[in-house]
Amino acid sequence: MGTIIDQMEGPGAKAHDGVRCPLCGAPNTASGQCRHVRWTFDRGGPLEFARYALGASPLTERLGRSAGEISAAWLQVHGDQIVDLIMLHFGVDEGFVFGEVAQLDMLARELWRMFTEVPVAS
């Protein structure tokens, strides 16, 4: 049976050279990453990345907020929406999240908007 590479490309195929950055084309591995890597999923999943984005974004401080205000339970309840936002703002491939620094601010802005949204009375 062999490895996935053997199955897809035949025995003796070249080993995986890393995940190519969609922005600069550089190969990324666990030991070497380009400047566009914002997160790797060995550090945690999408919800941990969302919390990281909230803490890393200067927007959070400008709003007078703290990433700790958003509970893990809230993140869990809104997990599907958060994953959709991450996929919208970032390139995600094989455990790497690629993007520009400004995209962390965009994600943080969207998360704060979701968190502070006042529900409409029915």
pTM of the model: 0.80
CB atoms inside a 10 Å sphere around CB 54: 23
Q: How far apart are CA 57 and CA 53, in angstroms?
A: 6
**50 contacts: CB under 8 Å, gap ≥ 6:** 75, 82, 85, 86, 107, 111
Q: What is the pLDDT of residues 76-103, one digit of tens each?
A: 999 999 999 999 999 999 999 999 999 9
Burial class for 72, CB neighbours closer than 10 Å (0-12, 13-18, 19+) = exposed
Structure tokens at 48: 């941990």
Give the pLDDT confidence of 21-45 residue by residue, as tens digits: 999 999 999 889 999 999 999 999 9
Burial class (CB in 10 A: 0-12, 13-18, 19+), 107: buried
Lowest mean pLDDT among 6-15, 26-35, 53-62, 100-109: 6-15
How far apart CA 106 and CA 57 sit, in angstroms, is 9
Read off the tokens for 97. Answer: 């999240």
Report the DSSP pairing between strands 96-98 and 37-40. antiparallel
